[in-house]
Chain A
Amino acid sequence: MTDRKDRAEMSDERIEALLAQMADDAPTPSVALMERIVADAQDVAQAREAQTRDRQGARQAGAGRSGVGQAGAGRAGLAGWLANLLAPIGGWPAVAGLATATVAGVWIGYASGDGLTGLTGLNGDAISASGGAELGEFMLSYDDLLGEG
């Protein structure tokens, strides 16, 4: 009887041993759960890839499409070429981060030049008499913003 009273409460070691046995009896997840988890992974991966594709597409479309004026008919192919050129360095948003002074310089160049009607500059011909539109020669989007060309 005394023994029972002495052992009225179970020892820490005993409890730990019981808990360790519980570890051996670990409940296992169902196959259905495992498949749902893997399916979720596929969905997340697909959504992520679709998002990446959309962003790349939007970047390319944005480089050839103006935010203000209308793109000229002959620009589409060249706009695509420029977009491809700019894509590795972050596309239009990266180039648009140039210092304001540079943009001002472009505007000054345009304002004093004859204006652009085409991209003859890319073929080696002079684009404007003043020669101050060096950025505008290569930045079609700037061209859209700066004038109705």
Chain B
Amino acid sequence: MTMPFDALASVPDEALLVAFANGDRGAARVLTERLAPRVFGFAMRLLANRAEAEDVVQEAMLRLWKVAPDWRQGEARITTWLYRVVSNLCTDRLRGRRGVGLDAIDEPEDPAPSALAAMAEAQRREALEAALAQLPDRQRQAVVLRHVEGLSNPEIATIIGVSVEAVESLTARGKRALAGLLASRREELGYEDDD
């Protein structure tokens, strides 16, 4: 049984996954469009490398397709599960990178030409991304999941595999570290002109 494509838009993630497990191919496309961009953004924040982020997301989604028949409804949210898989895959890759240095990180894209404001904005973005890349893995994950992905502390705790208290500590330390890293570039980045 296959549901019409547009009717799938309001169906919850779990129901779509069950439908896919029962042979509904359209459900997989809807899930991909919902979930892949979200976890791709997350992977990019952690890895700062588009090719690696794409590999991680493809692998994570493949695991989702394979686990579909065994998915037990009500036990966990699919997004939480997927974030966790992506988090683990990214951690594996980052461990493999030790000693490689910043070479694995993509060159920041050129800022939009002409407008000074746009250039300044791009420079700040690049500075923030570079600072994030320097954080310890778990601090970076916690900070990104909380303040970029907008997830709750309990959910982050499930994804990273630590206590809620540990998440709070990680985000606090991560933000302090970012503040310290960006402080040295404040003048260059023009932060003092704001506030």
Interface residue ranges, A against B (CB under 8 Å): 4, 7-12, 14-16, 18-23, 25-30, 33-34, 36-38, 40-42, 44-45, 48-49
Contact = CB atoms under 8 A, between A and B. Distances in A.
Interface string B156-191: 000000000000000000011011101100100001
B72 interface: no
A55 to B, nearest CB: 13
Contact of B183 (A8, A19, A29, A48): A8
Interface of B: 20, 23, 25, 28-29, 32-33, 36-37, 40-41, 44-45, 50, 53-54, 57-58, 61-62, 65-66, 68-69, 124-125, 128-129, 143-144, 147-150, 175-176, 178-180, 182-183, 186, 191-192, 195
Contacts of A36: 58
B65 A45 contact: yes
Given A28-B40, A29-B40, A16 B175 contact: yes
A78 B23 CA distance: 33
Contacts of A21: 125
Nearest to B109: A27
B81 to A, nearest CB: 16
B37 A42 contact: no
Task: Give chain B's interface secondary structure class.
Answer: helix
A139 B29 CA distance: 47
B143 A19 contact: yes
A14 to B, nearest CB: 8
Given A22-B45, A29-B57, A9 B175 contact: no
Nearest to A24: B148
18 contacts: A4-B192, A11-B179, A15-B182, A18-B124, A18-B182, A19-B144, A20-B147, A27-B53, A28-B37, A29-B40, A29-B54, A33-B57, A33-B58, A37-B32, A40-B58, A44-B65, A45-B23, A45-B65
Nearest to B42: A26
A42 B53 CA distance: 22
Nearest to B177: A15
Contacts of A29: 36-37, 40, 54, 57
A96 B159 CA distance: 45
Contacts of B128: 18-19, 22
Contacts of B69: 48
A23 B178 contact: no
B13 to A, nearest CB: 14
